[in-house]
Amino acid sequence: MRRDSLFYQLFAQLPQTLFDLLGTDTPQGYRFDSVELKQTAFRIDGVFVPPDPAGTVYFCEVQFQRDNTFYERFFAEIFLYLRLYRSTFADWQAVVIYPNRQTEQESFDPYDLLVHSPRLRRVYLNELGSPESLPLSLGLMQLMVLPEAEMPRVARLLAERTQGEAAPKSAVIIELITTIVLYKFTELSREEVLRMLGFTTEELKRTRFYREVYAEARAEGLDEGRQQGLQQGLQQGLQQGLQQGLQQGLQQGLQQGLQQGLQQGLQQGEVLVILRLLRRRFGSVPSELEERIQRLSISQIEALAEALLDFRELGDVAAWLERFA
């Protein structure tokens, strides 16, 4: 599970997560960044930069594997940053996030004083409490370390809380929940995860995922359809032009052929959109079913696109075609 990138997304989208961990009110204007200290090729994964030099800079590190030299590296990076950017802050605080105490390095020498000082806050995700009582941002953190058997229940709980509490950036939180679950259940599609989280068909249609997938498939399909239509139009136009005459007939034939070809290309592009979405959901589509869809009119194809998310299996597509096509 690529937790570093997940935590980066979480902090970037919801910077208040760090301050929820610290149990303090979220100050305004903080910017989250990953900072490379080029002189030594050190990189601090998370730096919360204050909006003015009178503020506190926060260093945040996520550590999910035991590294018995971690604090040596972490404090070296911090003090190098303090030297390079001293004019940009008045104070500093460090936070290390562990899944549990067993992941922390065994010996703190010679940094024992710093490790046990107020400068450093160590967080153990398995000790934060139940997701029902935590802020949503901390619930997302816990979700990343849950066993596979518990994840669906907690993911649904967080999704319901996001919608029920009308949380700020609710779309961002739902997207983060979906991404975290996808990292764990690699065999599921994004749509299947959204359904697992309890989304109805209408809610699913309003998600960014559905809009992006449909727009992508539509753009690719229509572009391919237009190209096919233009090619067919030129061929038909030349043929009709030769039949009607080499001058006037050619011009009229080309015009008629292009119109017919572009219309056919538009229809074919819409068909490609439907077939692409069906393959995303159900895998391969039988050739007989493809042929029936290719014979639909543009208005029928648009109606099928609306109905598609209600289908649970390919048999539902065939039943819809029997009824409406």
d(CA 156, CA 162): 10
Whether residue 222 is found in the same domain as residue 314? yes
Q: Within this chain, do residues 237 and 320 fall inside the same structural domain, yes or no?
A: yes
Per-residue pLDDT tens listing for the chain (325 residues): 456 678 888 888 888 888 898 888 888 888 887 776 655 556 777 899 999 999 999 999 999 889 999 999 999 999 999 998 999 999 999 999 999 999 999 999 889 999 999 999 999 998 998 888 898 889 998 888 888 888 888 988 888 888 777 767 777 888 888 888 887 787 777 777 777 777 665 555 555 545 555 555 555 555 555 565 556 655 665 566 556 555 555 566 556 655 555 566 567 777 877 887 788 777 788 888 888 888 888 788 878 877 877 777 888 888 888 887 7
Residue 122 shares a structural domain with residue 217: no
- How many of the other CB atoms lie within 10 Å of CB of 177? 24
Q: Is the peptide bond before 118 cis (omega within 30 degrees of 0)?
A: no
Pairwise CA distance, residues 256 & 64, whole Å: 66
The answer to whether position 260 is within a domain reads yes
In a domain, 155, yes or no: yes
Which of 141, 171, 199 is the endpoint of a domain?
199
- The pLDDT value recorded for residue 79 is 92
- The sign of the torsion formed by the CA atoms of 39, 45, 49, 55 equals negative
Residue 205 is assigned to a structural domain of this protein: no
Distance between CA atoms of residues 69 and 124, nearest Å: 19
Enter the pTM of the model. Answer: 0.59
Residue 66 lies in a domain: yes
For 192, the token pair is: 């299947």
Same domain, yes or no: 245 and 315: yes
What tokens were used for 263?
């219309």
Domain shared by 53 and 107, yes or no: yes
Instruction: Quote the pLDDT of residue 60.
Output: 93
Distance CA 165, CA 173 (A): 12
Indicate if 175 and 245 belong to the same structural domain: no
**122 and 137 share a domain?**
no
In a domain, 19, yes or no: yes
Q: What does the pLDDT read at residue 229?
A: 56
Type of residue found at 125: L
With respect to residue 6, please indicate whether it lies within any of the assigned structural domains: yes
Whether residue 221 is contained in a domain is answered as yes
| Each residue's pLDDT tens digit, 41-71 | 567 778 999 999 999 999 999 998 899 999 9
Domain boundary pick from 86, 112, 127: 127
pLDDT of amino acid 1 = 47
Can you give the residue range of the structural domain that contains 143? 132-199
Same domain? For 18 and 52 the reply is yes
Sequence-ordered list of residues with C-beta below 8 angstroms from that of 50, at least 6 positions apart, any chain? 27, 29, 30, 56, 57, 88, 89, 90
CB 98 within 8 A of CB 64: yes
End-of-domain residue from the set 93, 127, 161: 127
- Name the domain count of the chain: 3
pLDDT in the model for residue 238: 56
Q: Is residue 204 part of a domain?
A: no
Regarding whether 150 and 123 lie in a shared domain, the answer is no
C-alpha span between 61 and 74 (Å, rounded)? 8
Spatial separation of the C-alpha atoms in residues 188 and 121, rounded to whole Å: 36
